[in-house]
Chains A and B, each alone.
Chain A
Amino acid sequence: MESPIDRPDGDWWSEKINRRETIWLGLSGGWALTLFGWMLGWSQFGDQNQVGESYKLTTERFLEKVRSYKRAAGTLTVDGEEMLVPHENDVYVGALQWDWDGLPVVLRPGETYRFHLGSYDVQHGFSVRNENNLSQQISLQILPGYEWVLEMSFDDPGTYQVVCNEFCGTSHRSMHGKFVVRDHEPVETGTDEGGGSGGDKYGGWFTGDAAGGPTPNFDGETADRTGQEDVTVTVGGAEDAGSSNVYGPPAVRVSPGTTVTFEWASIGHNIAVESQPDGASWDGHGSLEDSGFTTQHTFETEGVYKYYCDPHLRVGMKGVVEVA
């Protein structure tokens, strides 16, 4: 008898093996080879292989690439929502806490696109599913400091929902984007609109030359609310902004003594004060808040108050209150 807790006697190496155990060894070895062979074969003949070049690059460089992709892209309104139409077939997806820069985008069925996946801050997960068939879904890891280029081609028209499935901070679950696969009329692309970030107004605060990226919804105009008693600024959303990482309006002019209400419209934003007039003592609102939160401040001292959102400074979430 062979007990597993006794020292085996004699020449145990030469003992016979039961015939069925020998057969099982053969079956197991054969199965392991089959698994390997199939995987190798699929990489040559299969249509789903997460294989593509990776590039090491700085976050700033990747941000620039996403910005120039967005400037070159055309736009198309689908179901009331303005979406990008990529110039040529490169789609840049910049993941950030907690949004997808570069989406939403409209793609044509049957065409091959190069997805450039990267992150502005921490690790994220690019998890995509066909809305009409949830089991058509894949997940890919996204690392900051790297750009991963993967070809994809979609046959089934429809909406493809993108969520993040790598934990990226408390508001991780709110990180959502999408793209739509459908045929459409040709859209003009490749024209660089310059980003509309207001030139040197406020010392160039809204451009990419100041801290962070250019502010997408600042067109050089300051919303004039002077003389109004109650002024509201939306934090994390604005009409026609195409992004939730904005203040609306980004720049507002008010009379001294006006109380401004900041109203959160999406998850995970704050107000960090960049600069304010001498003698003013506005603290902004440092902790990250979710939609529904409000805070108020009465602006007494005349001058320009510049502020931004900590997690989204890189994508240009910046604002100004001008007291005049």
Chain B
Amino acid sequence: MFGFSTHTYDDEGFRTCNVTGLTIHRSAEDMVKLYGLTAIVALAIGGVFAFFVAMTRWELVSLLSPADFYTYLSMHAWNLLIFWMIFMEIAILYVGGAFVLGRRLSLPKLAKVGWVVMATGAVVVNAAIWTTESPNQAPLLTSYVPLPSNWQFYAGAIIFILGAVVAALPFFATIWHERRENPNETLPLVTFGAFITGIVALESLVGGLITYVPTLLWRVGEFQTMDPAFYRQMYWIIGHGSQQINLLAMITVWYFLTHVLGGAEVASQKVSRTAFVLYLFFINLGAAHHLMSDPVVSMGWRMWNTSYAAYGAVLASMIHAFAIPAGLEAGRRAKGKGGGLFGWLWSSPWDDPGFSATIMSIILFGFLGGITGVMMGQMQLNMTWHNTLATVGHFHATVVTGTTLAFMGLAYYVLRLVFGRDWALKPFAKLQPYLYAGAMSLLVLMMMYVGILFGVPRRHPSVMDIPGTEFSFAPAKPFFVVFGVAALLAILGGALFVVVAVASLLTGDRFDADSVGDVTRAAADGGDAKPIHEYSMRGTFTLCLVFLATFVVLWGLNWYLLSTIWQIGP
């Protein structure tokens, strides 16, 4: 597809990947290219808007007027949080399903139909946001009723969701056929992760329909009123649910790339799969943490949903936090790639952007995104996080330094292994993950800092002053200088990725190497006979203890800060 590819297929449309040994069918590969490239287009569009948003919040520059700011912010949110992510996730479902199982993509026509419908929905949403005029307001991500947005916006969201459901069907059909043909085989772990991702995605998309269909009917006048409490509860099924698709897809990518590039093995099939099942049961209800500082829902309801549900999912994430690095450690020890406590880590292929992006994604997601997510998900602590810039810091840590970075790592290998093109501008490709991750980390730390310690609100077109009053957030000013510079560097890092991707497609050399990273699949298959659990995982254990200690300290500080506030509640 697109003529960029260098691969040839056999008569039945299959080929064997030199690097992974996977048998790949053209029906799946074409769709991975289509969805992957569309995702990168959305990333580029959203990234352009990131520039305007960040340069408005940095008051030194103050680029946009308030009305424009909200329009640009909405474009930024929808293109990056929704379109970049979901197009990429459909590609990941096809990789995790058809590629890994070595099958054709079932129902290939639906994959094309799904793409057309999703793309239509995305265009409609973008156009509806861009043409917002009073009395309509820019929807941002949440479009909380009864603040009205263009009715086309809700219609576009519904079209996009329906398209995503259609696009997911070929994946489920592929799994169905696999199970019918091989009823006694266990799915590979990556396929299993993708399968759970797909189920969580469907739950979330159904929530989206429950949200947007009545809202559209309300907006065009069919319904007189729309209960804002109902809307919030339904909305967050998709609002947070879509981010949970990101989480699960990202973890699946972690397992995949650490294996292909670093020689990771599965430390324990039982433990990793159980963790995915925990997500299946618990993660959707955990979205209730968005209502921690709301009226209407009772304390019991809030505690229930943020305890049993959230901690079931938190537990799952902590399991993966150990299992993935442990798999890398044990796998590399087994292949003789470094001894000692951290030798396996230092000796890793750090100059491979696929590998460096994956490892930094794991670390930053955990330390910056995961810890903060658990803290703001505690009912009482939520009061100090709710709708401050710290919340924005949290989800940039998860979605950007976590998911986006992992997806960039994957995209580097989609270029090499799927399009068969080596990276153009190689020095920039190697540098890019470090620049992007470093600048973005600094950015999210600044957001969290000004949000928690100065209470700077999110969704303001400026920060320091409140028009018409003497009150201002001026003490936070120095931190916004760091914020502004970090934002510029991060956007540069994101742009560099798009440039490398486009240049590789157009000018990249043919890529036909037999191995990537610093391992070969042959070695992985060979290996010695010692079971994986007998290799030492002491390096990972040490890292995880550092993580837990950081977690406990930050958690304690947050509760201390809360305790200094005046008395609220009975």
Contact = CB atoms under 8 A, between A and B. Distances in A.
Interface of A: 1-8, 12-13, 15-18, 20-21, 23-25, 27-29, 31-33, 35-36, 38-40, 42-43, 46-52, 54, 112, 117, 121-123, 125, 127, 129-131, 133-148, 150-156, 161, 163-174, 176, 178, 244, 266-267, 287-288, 290-291
A127 B387 contact: yes
A28 B524 contact: no
Nearest to B389: A165
Interface stretch (B39-47, B163-171, B312-320, B483-491): B312-320
Interface in B164-190: 182, 185-190
A131 B295 CA distance: 25
B146 A121 contact: yes
Given A135-B561, A153-B566, A15 B533 contact: yes
A267 B468 contact: yes
B77 to A, nearest CB: 11
A52 B569 contact: yes
Given A117-B295, A146-B296, A151-B568, A2 B383 contact: no
A176 B137 CA distance: 20
Given A5-B189, A39-B379, A139-B383, 15 more contacts: A4-B189, A5-B190, A8-B266, A17-B267, A23-B541, A49-B380, A117-B295, A125-B386, A135-B455, A137-B384, A139-B457, A143-B232, A145-B228, A145-B229, A170-B67
Contacts of B331: 1
Nearest to B562: A48
B569 A174 contact: no
Contacts of A130: 566
B427 interface: no
B564 A135 contact: yes
Interface stretch (B201-209, B303-311, B429-437): B303-311
Interface stretch (B216-224, B239-247, B357-365, B458-466): B458-466
Contact of B188 (A6, A40, A170, A178): A6
B319 A25 contact: yes
Nearest to B326: A21
B194 to A, nearest CB: 11
25 contacts: A7-B185, A18-B326, A18-B535, A21-B326, A31-B551, A32-B318, A35-B311, A38-B378, A39-B303, A46-B563, A47-B569, A50-B383, A54-B296, A112-B567, A134-B455, A134-B476, A135-B452, A137-B388, A141-B386, A146-B295, A150-B568, A155-B566, A164-B457, A170-B70, A287-B134
Interface string B124-137: 00000000001001
A122 B147 CA distance: 6
A69 B527 CA distance: 78
A48 B326 contact: no
B548 interface: yes
B265 A7 contact: no
B467 interface: yes
A28 B188 contact: no
Interface stretch (B27-35, B268-276, B410-418): B268-276
Interface of B: 20, 22, 66-67, 70, 100, 134, 137, 140, 142, 144-147, 182, 185-190, 225, 227-229, 232, 255-256, 259-260, 264-271, 291-296, 299, 303, 306-308, 311, 314-315, 318-319, 322-323, 326-327, 330-331, 334, 374, 378-380, 382-388, 452-455, 457-462, 466-469, 471, 473, 475-476, 524-525, 527, 531-535, 537-538, 540-541, 544, 548, 551-552, 555, 559, 561-570
A132 B266 CA distance: 53
Interface centre among A2, A7, A165, A172 (most CB of B within 10 A): A2
B453 A134 contact: yes
Contacts of A141: 232, 291, 293-295, 386-387
A270 B323 CA distance: 60
Contacts of A21: 267-268, 271, 322-323, 326, 533, 537
Contact of B570 (A135, A151, A161, A172): A151
Minimum-distance CB pairs A-B, first 4: A137-B455, A148-B295, A49-B569, A165-B457
Given A7-B186, A17-B533, A50-B293, A140 B303 contact: no
A49 B229 contact: no
B388 A123 contact: no
Interface centre among A16, A134, A137, A244 (most CB of B within 10 A): A137
A3 B259 contact: yes
A51 B295 contact: no
Contacts of A24: 318-319, 322, 541, 544
B265 A2 contact: yes
Contacts of A5: 20, 22, 100, 188-190, 256, 259-260
B387 A31 contact: no
Contacts of A18: 267-268, 326, 330, 533-535, 537
Interface centre among B100, B268, B551 (most CB of A within 10 A): B268
B380 A50 contact: yes
B315 A165 contact: no
Contacts of A144: 146, 228
A166 B548 CA distance: 33
A145 B144 CA distance: 14
A73 B261 CA distance: 70
A132 to B, nearest CB: 11
A18 B540 CA distance: 12
A294 B561 CA distance: 46
B388 A143 contact: no
Contact of B66 (A32, A48, A161, A171): A171
Contacts of B461: 173
Contacts of A173: 66, 460-462, 466-467
